[in-house]
């Protein structure tokens, strides 16, 4: 059993949000599991040979998706949540992505995205890429979080998968 806590997010204009977290991924070639826990990430060796490590994401976000590079060097963290502003009909989505060096447990890159209305420009983590759809503009854009390289295509929906090395994305 691996216990974990709910994320707690504070908005000064609202009651605190208490959200379940479920992002998790095994680190390649090991018995270590990286998983969302409250407002951070825990890396725990399920064999019990080393103590757990906690990565603090801060009070305003939580991990909704995780990916670990095939060589186990980089942890990709994608964070998104719907947030209420001044009144119930004014919801927005907040997105952030980070890349962490697992050897040093240091954040090496962070990308904050403009606040949007829910489903206006949905984003997701696919391997090492953040993919953003813009149905109105008719585009899909993928940005490699490690290098910053961006590629664009005509708008595409469907199941998406990344190759184990994170270099290729497939759409079905």
Q: Output 119 or 62, whichever has higher pLDDT.
A: 62
The model carries a pTM of 0.83
Mean pLDDT of all residues in 79-93: 65
The sign of the torsion formed by the CA atoms of 103, 71, 42, 49 equals negative
Q: Are 58 and 70 in contact (CB under 8 A)?
A: no
CA distances from 144 to 57, 93, 128, 129, 156 (A): 20, 21, 6, 4, 18
pLDDT digits (tens, 9 = 90+) for 132-150: 888 788 888 889 888 889 9
> How many other C-beta atoms can be found within 10 angstroms of the C-beta atom of residue 11?
12
Q: Residue 79: which pLDDT band, with cuts at 50, 70 and 90?
A: confident
Q: Burial, 61: exposed, middle or buried (Cβ in 10 Å; 0-12, 13-18, 19+)? A: buried
Of 97, 90, 81, the residue nearest 20 (C-alpha)? 81
The sign of the dihedral angle between the CA atoms of 108, 93, 63, 14 is positive
Task: Judge whether residue 89 has pLDDT over 60.
Answer: no
Return the higher-pLDDT residue of 23 and 10: 23
Mean pLDDT, the chain, whole residue set: 82
Judge contact between 102 and 27, C-beta under 8 A: yes
Q: What is the pLDDT of residue 170?
A: 80
């Amino acid at each position: 059993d691996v216990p974990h806590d709910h994320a707690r997010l504070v908005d000064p204009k609202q009651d605190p949000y208490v959200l379940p977290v479920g992002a998790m991924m095994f680190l390649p070639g090991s018995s270590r599991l990286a998983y969302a826990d409250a407002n951070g990430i825990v890396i725990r060796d399920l064999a019990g040979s080393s103590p757990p490590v906690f990565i603090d994401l801060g009070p305003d976000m939580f991990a909704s998706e995780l990916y670990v590079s095939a060589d186990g060097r980089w942890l990709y963290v994608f964070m998104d949540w719907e947030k209420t502003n001044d009144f119930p009909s004014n919801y927005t989505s907040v997105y952030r992505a980070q890349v962490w060096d697992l050897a040093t447990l240091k954040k090496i890159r962070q990308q904050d995205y403009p606040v949007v209305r829910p489903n206006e420009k949905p984003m997701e983590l696919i391997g090492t890429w953040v993919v953003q759809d813009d149905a109105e503009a008719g585009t899909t854009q993928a940005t490699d979080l490690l290098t910053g390289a961006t590629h664009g295509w005509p708008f595409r929906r469907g199941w998406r998968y990344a190759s184990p090395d994170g270099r290729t994305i497939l759409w079905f």
